[in-house]
Homo-oligomer: A and B are copies of this chain.
Amino acid sequence: MTKYQQIVEYIEKCIKNEIFPKGSAIPSEQELGAMFQCSRMTVRRALDELAAEGVVYKTKGRGTFVSNIAFDRLYSLKGFSQIMREQGIDYSSEVLIFEILNSSKDVAQHLKILQETEVYCLKRVRKAMGKAISIECVYLPVQEFPGLMDYDFAQCSLYETLANVYGVKIERAVQSISTEDIEGEEAKILFGKKKGVALKSVSVGYGKNFKPVEYENALYNGYKYTIDVVIKGEN
C-alpha cells in the first residue's frame, strides 16, 4: 500500500470516528507531512483524492475541512446485486432469456460493433423482497466474453462476473431515463396489471479504454423504485 493511500485511510478513519468532526479543519498539509514523515506533495495527493470524492473541501489560505455531507464513493455503477447486498435487502433474479443472437442495428450502434455481430442477450426480472422491481435486458459482445453462457445469472452478479472472470470493470456509464407505456407480459410482471407506465433506463457501460462493454435496457416500476444519481461538477 502506498503512502498516500495510508494517509487517505487515516483521514477517512478519523472522520468516521469523529476525531475530525464534520465542518472542522483537519491538520494542515505541513502537519500531516510531519505526522507521516513524508513530503508535502504526497500529502496533497491524498487530500486531492479526498476532495475529489467530496469527503473534504479545501479553501485557499484557510485550510482543509470535513464536508458536511457524505456522498457515496461511487453512487451507482454498482449493479443490482451489490446495491441490494449493501442495503441488506433480500433480493433475487429470474432469467427470462439468455441466448446468443445477431445484433440489431440499435444494439450494434450502442456497442460500436458491426451489425449482425454475435451478442449475448440476457433478460432478467429483478426482485426485492419477492416483488418485481425491474425488467432488465443486457447485451454484450460474444467475442469479448467467451464462455459467458456457463454462468447462471439467476445466482451470479453480471458485474462481478465481468470483473472477476474477464477482468473488465465498468468505469463509466451514460444513462438516459424516460417513461414508457408498457403492456402484456411486462406490465403484468412490474405492475400486476395489463397496462402501465414504466420508468425506462437505457444505458451503455464503458470499460478501461472507454470501449463499450454492455448495452442495457431496463424498465422499472417507478412507483416503488427510484433511480438515484450523484452529479459532480468540474474539478
Q: Which of A7-15, A28-36, A125-133, A202-210 sits within the interface?
A: A202-210
Q: Which of A69-77, A114-122, A148-156 sits within the interface?
A: A69-77
Which residues 89-132 of A have a CB within 8 angstroms of B? Answer: 112
Find out whether the CB atom of B232 lies under 8 angstroms from the CB atom of A74.
yes
Identify A179's interface contact among B52, B65, B76, B179, CB under 8 A: B179
Q: Quick check: is A176 within 8 A (CB to CB) of the other chain?
A: yes
Q: Quick check: is A144 within 8 A (CB to CB) of the other chain?
A: no
Residue of B nearest to A48 (CB): B48
Q: Quick check: is A211 within 8 A (CB to CB) of the other chain?
A: yes
Query: Residues of B contacting A67 with CB < 8 Å?
Result: 209-210
**Can you sample 25 A-B contacts with CB below 8 Å?**
A57-B210, A67-B209, A67-B210, A68-B112, A68-B209, A68-B210, A71-B172, A74-B231, A74-B232, A74-B233, A171-B232, A175-B230, A176-B227, A177-B222, A177-B227, A177-B228, A177-B229, A178-B222, A178-B227, A179-B179, A179-B198, A179-B222, A179-B223, A197-B197, A200-B222
**10 more CB-based (< 8 A) A-B contacts, given A175-B231, A229-B231:** A57-B208, A174-B230, A177-B177, A177-B227, A178-B199, A178-B226, A178-B227, A180-B222, A200-B222, A232-B232
